[in-house]
Amino acid sequence: MKLIEMKCKNCGAELEVEDNQEEVTCKYCNTTFKIDDGKLRVDTDNMHEAGYQYEKGRIKARKEEEEEKENKIRQKELKDKYFWWWVIGWCCFFPIPLTILIWKSNWSQKKKIIVTVILWVVLIILGILTNSADNEQKKEKIISCYSEETYNKLDELVGIDNISGNFEKDEVCKNMNLKNSKYDKIIIDMDDDKNLISISIDGEYIYKNESLF
């Protein structure tokens, strides 16, 4: 039995049709065609349905892609959140049992004091350096995405230490997702000239530039 190869006029997929077949349905887009003297004639009713299903599938795919991006952002936020809780826990609790072990050792009292002081000084310095580097990264990202005025106003009203978000240099500004220490969303409104219009937290204004209203 001879097979005739044709292309779907809707999606361009290959169609294999028997020489005596009167119609064929594309397995990719479900469009049905009439076959007349070896030529495809479109069934307009099925074509309309196929177009509807195609558009429906395209919208669904776009929605799934957006949801996947949002899930990645949420996972990253949780990862950052738990990382800093781990750092805080390590700094707060690990030195305590380590200090106890030092004082239970057979070292002289003078050596115990020296080692304990060195341990806590190093931990305090590391904490300060880590916090300083983190705040500097926040500052650079906020200024690059908004303005120095916006950064200063946020630091004044919220406190830079109380602000979290995605501050990596390669992160796009719209995905920065600023939040305060309570994980309330911070919304910043700017005009086209990068002038700060307002700052709100969960829908409540904490700053409004009256000259621009």
In a domain, 19, yes or no: yes
3-state secondary structure (DSSP) of residue 169? coil
Least Cα distance to 100 among 110, 84, 112, 114 occurs for 112
Q: Does residue 112 form part of some domain?
A: no
Per-position pLDDT tens, the chain of length 213: 345 667 777 777 777 777 667 777 888 788 887 766 544 444 444 555 656 666 667 777 778 888 887 777 777 766 666 666 666 666 666 777 778 888 888 999 999 999 999 988 888 887 777 777 788 888 999 999 999 999 999 999 999 889 988 887 777 788 888 999 888 999 999 888 888 999 999 889 999 988 765
115 is a domain residue: no
* In a shared domain, residues 202 and 130: yes
Looking at the structure, do residues 200 and 130 belong to the same domain, yes or no? Answer: yes
Residues 67 and 135 in one domain: no
Taken in order 154, 155, 156, 162, the sign of the CA dihedral is positive
Dihedral sign for Cα atoms in the order 83, 88, 91, 93: negative
Same-domain status, 9 and 70:
yes
* Inter-CA distances, 137 with 70, 84, 128, 165, 169, Å: 23, 15, 14, 11, 8
* Whether residues 203 and 129 fall in one domain: yes
Tokens matching residue 192: 């086209």
Strand order in the sheet with 32-36: 23-25, 32-36, 39-42
- What residue numbers bound the domain in which 180 lies? 125-212
The verdict on pTM exceeding 0.75 is: no
Q: How many domains does the chain have?
A: 2
Last residue of some domain: 60, 81, 102? 81
